[in-house]
Amino acid sequence: MRDRRLTIVLFLGIACASFAGLPFVDVFASAQTGTQTRGPAKAPASKPAQDTQVYRNATFGFRYQIRYGWVDRTKEIRDQAAAETADSPQGNVLLAAFERPPNASGDTVNSAVVIASENASVYPKLKKAEDYIEPLTELATAKGFKADGDPSVAEIDGRHLVRADFIEPLTDKLTMHQSTLILLAKGRIVSFTFVAGSEDEIDDLIDGLHFEAAKSSAH
């Protein structure tokens, strides 16, 4: 059985598809060009609430504020990921939103937010969220990215997530920034990946992520 790891596949797919002019590869290939590859049927993840600009996930207790005018391609990306990981369906795409349609032309990074969930058992050595950094970094650097500083901890609404930042120069004046926040909860890895053309925009995108307050055990 092939070892197909959903979040890493998504990580590279976003990076390769977020700048018009780069080749479309990995799970984003047909989604970016406007065609679809049929994959096996898969139970849907938690659906967005009635407010179409806010994605809410009760399982992991978070919500994400999608920017006005962004394109929701969750179904297309989920279908592609399901086809790519058909022999080892350990994960699911929860949200995939882009600043503009992925097949639209442009000379800037097409900012994106992709949230995915994987079964932590796919990584036998993974005991804590920090352990996910190594395989993520190895594959990212093999594809031309480089780590942008050391991994850090991001605190959002009292939750502590591991953060890994990567960059890849696209032109002399344009650099792709990509940050992944990692949460280990309920036996699953939840990854929040943000793509943008600058550090400031990455931070702005991360600001759209919020967690519910932890329920108190006191009576």
Q: Are 187 and 119 in contact (CB under 8 A)?
A: yes
* Host H or E run for residue 56: strand 54-57
pLDDT recorded at residue 2: 39
pLDDT recorded at residue 53: 87
69-86 in b/e form (b: 16+ CB < 10 A) is: eebbbbebbbbbbbbbbe
- CA 109 to CA 145: how far, in whole Å? 15
Topology given in CATH for the domain delimited by 6-34+52-211: Protein Transport Mog1p; Chain A (3.40.1000)
Contacts of 161 (CB under 8 A, 6+ apart): 129, 153, 154, 155, 181, 182, 183, 192
- CA 27 to CA 8: how far, in whole Å? 11
pLDDT in tens, the chain (219 residues): 334 455 555 554 554 444 433 322 232 222 222 323 333 334 444 444 445 589 999 999 999 999 999 999 888 888 877 776 665 556 788 999 999 886 776 778 889 999 988 888 888 888 999 999 988 888 778 777 899 999 999 999 999 999 999 998 888 888 889 999 999 999 999 999 999 999 999 999 999 999 997 665 454
Each domain of the chain, given as residue ranges in start order, spans: 6-34+52-211
- CA 16 to CA 13: how far, in whole Å? 5
pTM, two decimals, is 0.78
pLDDT recorded at residue 162: 96
pLDDT recorded at residue 101: 80
What letter would DSSP give residue 156?
E
pLDDT recorded at residue 25: 27
